[in-house]
Amino acid sequence: MARREKSLMRQLIEERGIKDVAGVQALVKELTAGLIQEAMDAELEEELGYSKYDYRNKQTDNSRNGSYKKTVSSSQGDIELTVPRDRNGEYEPQIVKK
């Protein structure tokens, strides 16, 4: 493992005050949820062709239209996600199926 990654992990452990395996598991669950969330947001950005709040580069009549909650099962337990939606209903998440 690279020195930078070790340093980041050590920093996370210190900031969170992780002292036991349960703390590590909670952090892994939170990181998993964050990674999945970011992946879905990136998928929608790719689908729409513009970044959130970047209306100057918008070249479609479709746009973001809120989100809905979804709970998925993982090896870390149940994870609640916020799945983004598009106005035209064309966005179909690939990382977490509807």
pLDDT digits (tens, 9 = 90+) for 4-50: 999 999 999 999 999 999 999 999 999 999 999 999 999 999 999 88
pTM of the model: 0.83
pLDDT given for residue 17 in this prediction:
95
Using the 8-state DSSP alphabet, how is residue 56 labeled? G
Residue for token digits 């669950």? Answer: 29
Tokens encoding 3: 């020195």
What's the gap between Cα 94 and its chain centre? 13
Taking alpha carbons only, the member of 69, 59, 66 closest to residue 87 is 66
